[in-house]
């Protein structure tokens, strides 16, 4: 495993660092979507707060320490296999839970693995769960929740029972420093984001980020830990509005390592997965720059994001984005582009290519909307926010991978506000509705945000 003390690490910011006011752009709360009453269930709310408190307790009570990797310790003994079967048997005690496990492998895990060719969530986690009931309950809980939302179940939630059981089993284990603990917490965080109000997303991510800090995990950890980290990082990227600070920011982990090393580290990895993760990082940095600039100009924050400092940060990030798109490995290039109207259809065959290219376009829009007056870019399609916005929509139209559709909600919102024609609005609304119908992930609350930006309600 790479020594984390010499690598940049993506950090959470403390809740006290957040500006006052709502943490998310949607002004409508639960009224803006809400297919069922899960997020209001008293049992869920109590357990949610219990999990959050547990995560912060360990973060505040223990110094960071390196986590042992689960790899290299194969479960080879007959005794251990028998113990695993004995532990799994009561959890998988009925046919419905078997269906949840199948659904996890076939439907949910591909969401989480889309930037990981090794498929840690689909292959490793079910194997590790054989001897770790808390992880198994977390796997079943997120799968049950996805099925409940996709099937439109209103008032009976198996997922709450499984969620609560996972938390109960985790409670005495948080000091164990076991990667399976982190895996279970990441899954529960994903479940919460699927189910809770948009304004609460940041709270879920902060708790998970605190655990990551305590475990000393980062984007170059390798193996399962790295896969867990980048799954979390993609959620953090989706959390803020474009004028709000992302839950992720990269800082040196040691005096000898600087932020400027990030590009070198990503490129040195020489893999499509890490190049895709680099897009996540760059999009997070774009959100951070927009946040810093907005707070400096509109709120008078003394964060130094003025004059030459702002110009330098903008130019560096714009150059990094151009380097990202120019140096894409073949796996991240489109295999077919059709110049359809109003949105081109851009087809990719690699899962990571879909979302990473959308994130490149999203970050480009954020920067172009904030471009310093002193910066003069050469005329090209890439200097038009609308050009990038059309490609964001075209990518979602042409690529049906569920995980990538889920991760397109924020890009579609940022892109969608740039369009003025009713026909364009109708297509974007249909995309978002289909995301929620096909995947179970709450997306339709963003339609109301777009309608507020457009100034009218799109016909249903």
Chain segment 153-186, per-residue pLDDT in tens: 777 788 999 999 999 999 888 777 788 988 998 9
pLDDT at 134: 94
pTM of the model: 0.83
CB 140 within 8 A of CB 98: no
**Stretch (H or E) spanning 336:** strand 336-338
Please name the residue ranges forming H helices in 196-271.
201-215, 223-238, 261-269
- Hey, what are 249's tokens? 């920011």
* Below-70 pLDDT ranges, the chain: 1-36, 58-87, 195-204, 236-260
Helix/strand/coil for 251: strand
pLDDT at 239: 47
pLDDT at 264: 83
Quick: pLDDT tens for 392-430. 999 999 998 877 888 899 999 999 999 999 999 999 999
Of the candidates 175, 258, 238, the one whose C-alpha atom is nearest the C-alpha of residue 211 is 175
CB 284 within 8 A of CB 12: no
pLDDT at 207: 74
pLDDT at 237: 63
Distance CA 7, CA 4 (A): 5
222 CB neighbour count, 10 Å cutoff: 12
CB 235 within 8 A of CB 65: no
CB 248 within 8 A of CB 239: no
CB 224 within 8 A of CB 69: yes
- Hey, what are 42's tokens? 């008293």
């Amino acid at each position: 495993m790479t020594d984390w003390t010499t690598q940049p690490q993506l950090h959470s910011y403390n809740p006290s660092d957040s500006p006052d006011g709502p943490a998310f752009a949607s002004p409508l709360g639960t009224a803006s979507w809400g297919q069922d009453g899960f997020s209001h269930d008293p049992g869920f709310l109590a357990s949610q707060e219990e999990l959050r408190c547990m995560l912060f307790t360990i973060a505040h009570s223990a110094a960071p320490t390196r986590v042992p990797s689960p790899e290299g310790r194969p479960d080879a003994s007959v005794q251990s296999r028998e113990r695993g079967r004995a532990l799994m048997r009561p959890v998988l005690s009925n046919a419905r839970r078997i269906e949840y496990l199948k659904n996890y492998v076939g439907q949910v895990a591909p969401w989480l693995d889309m930037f990981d060719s090794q498929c840690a969530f689909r292959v490793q986690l079910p194997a590790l769960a054989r001897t770790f009931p808390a992880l198994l309950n977390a796997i079943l809980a997120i799968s049950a929740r996805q099925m409940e939302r996709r099937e439109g179940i209103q008032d009976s939630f198996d997922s709450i029972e499984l969620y609560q059981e996972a938390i109960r089993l985790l409670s005495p284990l948080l000091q164990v420093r076991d990667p399976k603990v982190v895996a279970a917490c990441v899954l529960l965080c994903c479940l919460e984001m699927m189910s809770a109000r948009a304004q609460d997303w940041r709270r879920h991510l902060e708790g998970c980020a605190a655990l990551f800090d305590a475990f000393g995990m980062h984007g170059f950890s390798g193996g399962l830990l790295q896969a867990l980290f980048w799954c979390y990082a993609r959620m953090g990227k989706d959390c803020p509005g474009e004028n709000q600070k992302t839950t992720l920011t990269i800082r040196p982990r040691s005096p000898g390592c600087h932020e400027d090393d990030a590009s070198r580290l990503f490129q040195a990895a020489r893999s499509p997965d890490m190049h895709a993760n680099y897009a996540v990082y760059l999009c997070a940095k774009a959100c951070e720059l927009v946040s810093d600039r907005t707070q400096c100009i509109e709120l008078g924050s003394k964060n130094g994001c003025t004059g030459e400092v702002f110009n330098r940060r903008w130019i560096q990030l714009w150059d990094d984005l151009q380097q990202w798109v120019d140096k894409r490995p073949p796996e991240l290039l489109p295999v077919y582009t059709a110049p359809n109207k109003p949105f081109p259809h851009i087809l990719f065959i690699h899962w990571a290519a879909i979302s990473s290219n959308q994130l490149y376009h999203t970050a480009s829009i954020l920067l172009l909307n904030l471009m310093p007056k002193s910066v003069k870019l050469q005329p090209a399609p890439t200097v038009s926010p609308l050009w990038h916005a059309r490609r964001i929509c075209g990518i979602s139209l042409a690529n049906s991978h569920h995980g990538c559709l889920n991760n397109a909600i924020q890009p579609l919102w940022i892109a969608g506000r740039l369009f003025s024609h009713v026909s364009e609005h109708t297509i974007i609304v249909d995309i978002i509705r289909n995301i929620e119908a096909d995947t179970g992930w709450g997306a339709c609350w963003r339609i109301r945000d777009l309608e507020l930006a457009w100034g009218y309600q799109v016909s249903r």
